[in-house]
Structure 1
């Protein structure tokens, strides 16, 4: 290993100090009990815990917590049977991205309905009424990434 110059050492120490600062910032933004998502990680689908819904669907929790940049995120996967909705149209404080993996869903965007299929992405903005329904003949599978803190769901 080469000897570090004084300049190289100062740059390296500054970088290490900055990394600690980012982690400390994330911890400061986290609520007690929040997980800080500061380490890279894989989430194999077959290892995700499964919850069953009354409508015959399933949900798999992936992760939730605070990123080092300060955003609170939650991610899960849902399997929705044909003709079903995960819940009635609603709105909430956080924003959501929904990535359709399989099937066809109807996105109710504050009363405007649009059909989205495999590979499509839906964005539900904060405090905007939205809903989802499987309008296809097969189970719809989609991932949800929620960004921002939850303040309670308002059914509409």
Structure 2
């Protein structure tokens, strides 16, 4: 019967290979978001860092090369071209969910970071009081990252 049928080892190997390729793309996507703690991908481009780009290309190339060696070039081509449509939908959905989660977490981290900076500035000006070297009317900094973005 259909319930007792066991999958062929080649099919399992092809499925594992495709899953590992999608997970490798997800890890590269995550590593791009780890490049800066509080700035998202719209303000900070990790592709400007040649070391990060080289590492990602190297890791993806090694993984793809190992997959081709394991399956063979023709079988690898079949894995990529004859995969069911929903595997691509799930893979792209994983990348989108990871990016949206990263945006939400970074926005939360930035708010906490700016709040901490304001409290530190308030404590600094309160302790120094009138003897502070900062002139009256000085703009309260929100984050040192704002100055990095301008320059």
The TM-score, its normalising length taken from structure 1, stands at 0.23
Q: Where is the helix percentage greater, Structure 1 or Structure 2?
A: 2
Q: Where is the strand percentage greater, Structure 1 or Structure 2?
A: 1
Higher relative contact order (CA 8 A, sep 6+): 2
